[in-house]
Amino acid sequence: MERWRLVAGHVPDPLALTLLVVCLAIAVVEAALALRGAGPGRPALPRRTRLGLFTLRMLGLLALLTVGLELTLARETVRPVGPRVAVLVDASASMALADAERPGAKTTPRIDRLRSFWSAGAPARAAWREQGLSPGLRSFADRSRPIAETDADELKVPVDGPASDLARALAELAQAPDAGEPGLATDDPRPLAAVLVLSDGLFEGTGTYGQPAQDPLLLAARALGVPITTVSAGAPAIRDVAVAELHAGEFAFVENVTEFSADLIAHGLADTPVDVDLRRDGALVASTRVTLAADGVPVPVRFEVAPDRVGQFVHEIAVRPLPGEATLANNRRAFVVKVLRDKVRVLHVAGRPDWDVRALRTLLGRDPNVELLSYYILRSVEDADRDDPSAELSLIAFPTDELFKEQLGSFDLVILHNFDAINHQVGVYLGDIASYVQEGGALVVIGGDMGLATGDYPGVLATTLPVDTRRPTGTLTDSYRPALSDAGRRHPITAWLAALPPDWSTLPAFDSYNPVQLAPHAASIASAVLLTAQGGAPLLAIAEPGKGRSLVLATGATWRLGFAADLPLVDGARPYDLLWLGAVRWLLRDAAAERLSLETDRPSYLRGQPVTLRATALTPSYAPEPAVPLAWEVRPLGAVEPAPANNNSPGPPTFLLSEGTWTTDALGRASDTLPGRLPVGAYEAMAWRTGPSGQVDGPPPARARRVFLVDEPGHELARVDADPGEQRLQALAEATGGRFLRARDGDALPSSLPLAELGDEGPGLRIDSRRSVPLWDGPWALLLALIGLGGEALLRRRAGLR
């Protein structure tokens, strides 16, 4: 604002100033007495003359004073320099919730209630300014931001903040002027006299504060040291159900029952039944129905699930919407669970001990992740007949019914190793083993002089195997070198062999095999022959019957790949280990069997945090693979490829968010970091191998996949009831010496706010600009003095005065 001022350029010393004032006073008094015209010794003059004399006296004195004090007229632009009032407006999402005075009444969004309150308080705000107070508005959610002056009168702020962190907003007000970043409240050097908080009081952690002395909000408020006046925007009646608390671990084990649970908190929905769904990657896994309790009373909802496969999945607990809910945004909570394989449970049954059994047992036994249950037939019935009955043996009974009936489903992998099943009363269980495979189990049949050789796998079990096991094959004991098939060059079990000479010359020869033939049904169960023996007979064949996987190795001689005078190591590993570890990984669908893996640096992120993707490529022998061109992309979970242009059905839209290419380094690694721009939601990242030109020949390559979540920093809408917020605001005001107001009760914005005692830093004005007009420095002042004093002398002379 602007103002005019008269400024003295020269102020005499006190004695001279006293004399000047006395003289001026005498002159003015004498002139005033003359104006009255009464008094002894004074001639009676007409009133007009007396008035003229007085005016000329005043004019002369004024001119003399102007010159003597060097008076200047100043035009100044000024603004209040008194203390400021920080007005903090809650811009969190809960401010958009509509509530009402009582159940069934018309609801009003909290922010609208607050805007009405603010608009009605315009006179009070004007009074603040007249008191020299400077209100400054800031919105706060997860952090605070200034509100533009143009938006201040109508509180034009979006209310979509992820959390309301008032303690942080207060702390930002308390920061030193030069310590904050640009835009902070501390840019304003004026002292803070008061804070006005406009909110529903649902701050982070509302309702969980135990000790007031440790309440971070009260600590921040007291540190600020000014009265905080609070205005509650909420109303008591609201209708809503929210998934308030989530109880789920980051890990679960496949086939092991794990519990995911949540607490539902509802308001205005007591005794209402509600359906709750558990979804995995968008697909419904389970549903349950619970009855909601009274306002604010948590209702637990639990899901017990046994994950059926390993991997990383986005799970979500979602309450089906009810009519009239204040918001649906709090009806669901998502979380990422990594399903791991518990110890792999392997059943290893061998018809007799031999070096091949020993090699496989040693390999499986040294893996700490394998729980190996072995049953080896150590003697036959004939051996028992010959034995000394008094000899104490360590043999135990072969629990066929327990292994192949009761516990069969508990095994991840069953290995029948040169096992004559029919001789040992296992023939009756072959159907159970077949069902086990069809339903997702993994089966290995290893040849030798029994089992395949003696036709011990007839019937329904044969339908799950890639080779024909219905008839005895016998055993051939010729020395030979296996051959790698075309399928074997690509398959993860044997692809590492493609790097070796194709004639098997660097590997030990085998000395026996079962001359099996491909099964008639081989094509129908996705069979493939990876290795062949003499004459092209299948030696290593795989199949995927039903949900399971099976593998037949028609020889008991693979132990020689781990024990030879000049055994080559492939990428530092024995060929035997590569073959069998690859086989077990493939059979168990282990993610580690994939030669390309993709990881994120964490399973979930807060909005704004960068997301780092890391890929690792391995050679067929599972060594780091450098210089591999890869492509990657990130898209929302469940987004699909766009429909072809000539397809009239539009299909779901694709939301490809980010993509790129990599080339792996010397350690087979590649990574990229996405800036934190992903909106809240579930995403899947994928990576795959590409050719040098970025294109892939043949079928689409397997994609490494990883899911992750982007979440809000807080769970703003987990609690919606305004009552505890109102209590909190009241407590805050009382603790700091402020006032507590309710917008819904018609409370008015007070024209006199409780202020901090600031002493000399009280209200005042700051001059921003000044324009000076010197009144003494020119002919006019002298002319006026001559006119005034000279005119008076002339008039007195004419009036007959001395």
Partner 1 sequence: MRELASELRLRTRLEPLREPSTVAAGSPALFATPFLYVAGEQQLPPLGDAGEAQLGRFIDQGGMIVFDAADGGADPGFERDVQALLARILPGSPLTPVARDHVLYRSFYVLDEPVGRTRAFNHALGVQEEGRLKVLLVRNDLGGALARGPDGLHSFPCTPGGPQQREWATRFAVNILLYATCTDYKADRAHVETLLRTRRWR
569 belongs to the binding site for partner 1 (CB under 8 A): no
In this complex, which beta carbon is closest to partner 1, that of residue 326 or of residue 349? 349
In this complex, which beta carbon is closest to partner 1, that of residue 166 or of residue 357? 357
User: Torsion angle, CA of 300/303/304/309, rounded to 10 degrees?
Assistant: -150
Number of residues that bind partner 1 (CB under 8 A): 40
687 belongs to the binding site for partner 1 (CB under 8 A): no
Considering only 194, 359, 507, 537, the residue that binds partner 1 (CB under 8 A) is 359
Considering only 4, 251, 355, 780, the residue that binds partner 1 (CB under 8 A) is 355
Q: How far is the CB of 562 from partner 1 (least distance, A)?
A: 7
In this complex, which beta carbon is closest to partner 1, that of residue 176 or of residue 391? 391
Question: Which window, 110-118, 320-328, 383-391, 763-771, contacts partner 1 (CB under 8 A)?
Answer: 383-391
Residue 788 DSSP label: I
Q: How far is the CB of 321 from partner 1 (least distance, A)?
A: 52
Q: In which element (H, E) is residue 84 found?
A: strand 84-90
Q: How far apart are CA 253 and CA 433, in angstroms?
A: 24
Considering only 187, 563, 778, 783, the residue that binds partner 1 (CB under 8 A) is 563
Provide φ and ψ at 733, rounded to 5°: -65, -45
**Joined tokens for residue 185:** 């409240």
122 belongs to the binding site for partner 1 (CB under 8 A): no
Beta pairing partners, 706? 685
Considering only 5, 42, 343, 366, the residue that binds partner 1 (CB under 8 A) is 366
In this complex, which beta carbon is closest to partner 1, that of residue 307 or of residue 575? 575
Q: How far is the CB of 350 from partner 1 (least distance, A)?
A: 9
Q: How far is the CB of 392 from partner 1 (least distance, A)?
A: 4
Strand order in the sheet with 704-711: 604-606, 704-711, 681-689, 629-636, 658-663
Q: How far is the CB of 537 from partner 1 (least distance, A)?
A: 23
Q: According to DSSP H, which parts of 307-374 are helical?
A: 355-365
218 belongs to the binding site for partner 1 (CB under 8 A): no
**Joined tokens for residue 21:** 């004032």
Looking at residues 571 to 610 of the shown chain, list those that interact with partner 1 (rule: CB under 8 A): 574
Instruction: Report helix angle 791-798 to 47-69, nearest 10.
Output: 160
Concatenated DSSP letters of 736-787: HT--EEETTTTPPPPSS------GGGSS-EEEEEEEEEESSSSHHHHHHHII
Question: What is the biggest distance separating any 2 CA atoms in the chain, rounded to whole angstroms?
Answer: 171
In this complex, which beta carbon is closest to partner 1, that of residue 133 or of residue 350? 350
In this complex, which beta carbon is closest to partner 1, that of residue 394 or of residue 646? 394
Considering only 8, 373, 483, 758, the residue that binds partner 1 (CB under 8 A) is 373
Beta pairing partners, 375? 349
Let me know: does 776 contact 71? Beta carbons within 8 Å.
yes
Question: Which window, 71-79, 390-398, 515-523, 606-614, contacts partner 1 (CB under 8 A)?
Answer: 390-398
Left (φ > 0), alpha (ψ -120 to 50) or beta: where does 613 sit?
beta
Considering only 150, 211, 214, 394, the residue that binds partner 1 (CB under 8 A) is 394
Looking at residues 332 to 351 of the shown chain, list those that interact with partner 1 (rule: CB under 8 A): 351
Considering only 353, 459, 610, 764, the residue that binds partner 1 (CB under 8 A) is 353
> What 3-state class would DSSP assign to 25?
helix
Q: How far apart are CA 768 and CA 766, in angstroms?
A: 6
Considering only 143, 358, 470, 614, the residue that binds partner 1 (CB under 8 A) is 358
676 belongs to the binding site for partner 1 (CB under 8 A): no
Considering only 256, 362, 369, 752, the residue that binds partner 1 (CB under 8 A) is 362
Q: How far is the CB of 563 from partner 1 (least distance, A)?
A: 5
- Start-to-end CA span in the chain (Å): 51
> What 3-state class would DSSP assign to 339?
strand
In this complex, which beta carbon is closest to partner 1, that of residue 15 or of residue 565? 565
Which distant-in-sequence residues (6+ apart) come within 8 Å of 78 by Cβ? 1, 2, 3, 765, 766, 767, 768
Q: How far is the CB of 342 from partner 1 (least distance, A)?
A: 17
Looking at residues 424 to 463 of the shown chain, list those that interact with partner 1 (rule: CB under 8 A): 449
- Residue 625's CB is within 10 A of a number of other CB atoms, namely 20
User: Torsion angle, CA of 420/425/426/432, rounded to 10 degrees?
Assistant: 160
Considering only 396, 648, 693, 800, the residue that binds partner 1 (CB under 8 A) is 396
Q: In which element (H, E) is residue 486 found?
A: helix 486-490
227 belongs to the binding site for partner 1 (CB under 8 A): no
Question: Which window, 38-46, 392-400, 436-444, 651-659, contacts partner 1 (CB under 8 A)?
Answer: 392-400
List residues near partner 1 by CB under 8 A: 351-355, 357-359, 361-362, 365-366, 372-374, 376-380, 383, 386-388, 391-397, 449, 559, 562-567, 574
